[in-house]
Amino acid sequence: MSDIKALNEAVIKGDIQTAVSLTQNAVDAGKKAQEILDQGLIAAMDKVGEKFASGEMFVPQMLRSAKAMQECMKLIKPQFQEGDLTSKGKVVIGTVKGDLHDIGKNLVAMMMEGAGFTITDLGVDVSADTFVQKAQEIEPDILAMSALLSTTMPGMRETIETLQKAGIKDKVMVMIGGAPVTANFASEIKADAYAPDAGSAVIEAKKVLGIT
Amino acid sequence: MRQMQDLQLLKRKRCSALPETLNIANKERIMKPLEIPTFQPRLKVLNRDQALAIHASALEILDKTGFRMEHPGAREMLVDAGCLILNNNWLRMPSYLVQNALRSAPTQITLYDQKGNKTIPLTNGNPFYGTGSDATFTLDLETGERRRAVKKDVGNFARLVDGLENISFAMSMGNPEDVPIENIYVYVFAEMVKNTNKPIVFIADSGKDIAKIYDIACQVAGSEDALQRKPFILNYSEAISPLRFPENVMERLMFCAEKKIPVCFPSGSNAGGGAPVTLAGAMALGIAENLVGLVVHQLVGKGSPFLFGPNVSTLDMKSSVVSYGCPEWSLTQAALADMRDEIYGLPIWAFAGASDAKVMDAQAGAEAMFSIITALLSRSNLIHDVGFLEYGSTSCLEMVTMANELISMSRFFAEGIPVTDQTLAFEAIERVAKGEPGSIFLTDDHTFENFMQSLFLPQLLDRSRYDSWKSAGAMDFYNRCNLETKRILSEHQVIPKPDEVLKRIDEILQNL
């Protein structure tokens, strides 16, 4: 079995120790960092995503795989030149104003990171102004908002209106999700994408950015 | 036959406590045998050592890990009382504060209906069921479609609760999209008051809207004093697990403590979500959070009523929803009932009659019944969330109607088997067995006189013969519940509030 294939399997299993040592071996053997990343790590996370979607894997197992990938990334990151590391896209994410719940949002952030996106997590109780300010500063591909309470959902509309006022609504894809959110609500407030759960957040994110 | 005679001999022997001579001489003054008390089946899931260990762990969390108190007033009060500042908002609580609070909180809470009748005495493991709150969606009674809840739905749920015998209190069952969102909880409270006279468990957002809700409640009760003496409201508030106490949540809790409005304060310490995945740890964390609430509450209003208990469900490991149909939640609340009996002595908050199913199907029935009967058998006290589908996101009127029947069935079971001369029915057995040919129990007087109280007589569960079921439309349980719900909503008359009370409520709403 090639090292890359073994690395692939270690990440899927969530075996952090083995994954890290296989990555180190590959780096020491002079394997290209991009190859380790694409074939070893991202391919593994794609498989994890599939297995999770089909119900073969549970959330903690998926998150362990994501953690294994992150640990491996620490080893190969220095191999990349500044700006060389390809990311699926930049994502700014947060729970809207008035809402202090973060489990769902954290899940989405971890899954997207595992899928190769670069995440900036603004935390909970994020105001429309903060979302817009960060969007201007970071220039993300996706701005993702979460709400657990139906009483805090209006924060999503407010953020989109503030993006419009700032003239940057067209420069970023707005994605929303959370227990009370529906596809109808998303189109009503002119969000670009809606994901009902963490698993589909990755799929929707890729879809709006045109990544296969 | 021989056996029966032996049994009678035995019984006579047991009954004749007095000497035969005296017995004959003075028949009227015979000492009667003691009645055999009826055992009422009861579920226990923790022994005393387990209960004490979970409690000890909760105290250790408060003393060692501490908690994040974001309300400056509550923080100051806790520090004055003996809490230690860890850093910034984090405090540590010594266990004597918990002991003091447990001593001053009343062990008995009584809720009254809106006419001032005592309807929910929360004592001695008395169980009462009611609906839930804040669902985003509802299943439309006419079309069966899932849609956003509107104000009229809140009214319909309250009216249905009013018309169902075994549903003892109302919650909003919805966050309607057609009322101003900044005062949503005031509007749903007013809507409930207009549509039921049963007690109401209500939600508020902060110290601001809870004051308006309180105003409405005072109008209904007649005065502030009348409301305090005979409260028909109970506030539901939650901290955020793990160990976070937001300012607006504490505002509500402190408001209620001051005004002596009964409260419950269950954080969502769900296994694998807000809390560790193991149930003992999730309970310890949830109890620790509840105890922080209790301590603040008793510091503000010594002796104010506090309903104990966290919500310990699970985070589903595939969908990451908080499950409303899982056995874990029923198990942890049964465990909490044991801890109440061993340690806390305060009435407890619980859930039942809900489901993760998306429609009212076999899964919904199975999950609803599981939690209804276990809540009853473990003697949970105030049991909410009856009628929820889709892990609490969708409300369903027919589910409430179904639960009403399932609660009847469970109550029947929990009452046990009375064993008396009348129920042993020796004479009836002898009459029928030894009687003329053709003697049957169905024609015996004993049957006529006893069947109503001896048997469970279902109203909606179908036991009809196949042909009559078919000719009556071959309806399944869901459809029968649908029809019954429609009947209740069209026929049940809620005793209306006096005009001047309604007028004042509308004035409060107009001045929001």
Does domain A3-79 sit in CATH 1.10.1240.10? yes
**Comparison of pLDDT for B73 and A179, the residue scoring more:** B73
Residues of A in contact with B181 (CB under 8 A): 151, 154
Secondary structure of B25-92 as H, E, C letters: HCHHHCCCCCCCCCCCCCCCCCCHHHHHHHHHHHHHHHHHHCEEECCHHHHHHHHHHCCEEEECCEEE
Say if B244 is an interface residue toward chain A (CB within 8 Å): yes
Say if A183 is an interface residue toward chain B (CB within 8 Å): no
- B contact residues 368-397, partner A, Cβ 8 Å cutoff: 393
- A contact residues 59-78, partner B, Cβ 8 Å cutoff: 59-60
How far separated are the first and last CA of chain A, in Å rounded?
A: 28
Confidence (pLDDT) at A3: 83
Say if B134 is an interface residue toward chain A (CB within 8 Å): yes
**pLDDT tens, position by position, B322-363:** 999 999 999 999 999 999 999 999 999 999 999 999 999 999
Residue ranges per domain, chain B? 48-414
CATH number of the structural domain B48-414: 3.20.20.480
* CB atoms B272 and A60 under 8 Å: yes
| pLDDT above 50 for B168 | yes
- For residue A189, the SS3 value is coil
Instruction: Label residue A202 left, alpha or beta by phi (over 0 means left) and psi (-120 to 50 means alpha).
Output: alpha
Chosen from B183, B206, B317, B390 to mutate, greatest number of chain A CBs within 10 A:
B317
Among A58, A101, A154, whose Cβ lies nearest the Cβ of B318?
Answer: A58
User: Would you place residue B1 in the very low, low, confident or very high pLDDT band (cuts 50, 70, 90)?
Assistant: very low
CATH number of the structural domain A89-209: 3.40.50.280
**Comparison of pLDDT for A80 and B83, the residue scoring more:** B83
Q: Comparing A114-128, B62-76, B217-231, B473-487, which segment has the lowest mean pLDDT?
A: A114-128
User: Would you place residue B26 in the very low, low, confident or very high pLDDT band (cuts 50, 70, 90)?
Assistant: low
Of residues A181, A186, A174, A197, the one with CA closest to residue A104: A197
Of residues A126, A160, A123, A141, the one with CA closest to residue A205: A141
| pLDDT above 70 for B214 | yes
**pLDDT tens, position by position, B390-429:** 999 999 999 999 999 999 999 999 999 999 999 999 999 9
Residues of A in contact with B272 (CB under 8 A): 60
* CB atoms A103 and B274 under 8 Å: yes
User: Would you place residue B298 in the very low, low, confident or very high pLDDT band (cuts 50, 70, 90)?
Assistant: very high
Neighbours of B117 (CB within 10 A): 10
User: Would you place residue B238 in the very low, low, confident or very high pLDDT band (cuts 50, 70, 90)?
Assistant: very high
- CA closest to B244 among chain A residues: A100
Say if B317 is an interface residue toward chain A (CB within 8 Å): yes
Among A58, A59, A101, whose Cβ lies nearest the Cβ of B240?
Answer: A101
The token pair at B463 is 């036991």
- CA closest to A100 among chain B residues: B240
Residue ranges per domain, chain A? 3-79, 89-209
Q: What is the DSSP letter of B344?
A: I
Rounded mean pLDDT of B66-71? 97
Rounded CA separation B347/B280 (Å): 20
Residues of B in contact with A103 (CB under 8 A): 273-274, 315, 320
Mean pLDDT of chain B: 93
Chosen from A63, A106, A150 to mutate, greatest number of chain B CBs within 10 A:
A150
**pLDDT tens, position by position, B491-502:** 999 999 999 999
Read off the amino acid at residue B103: R
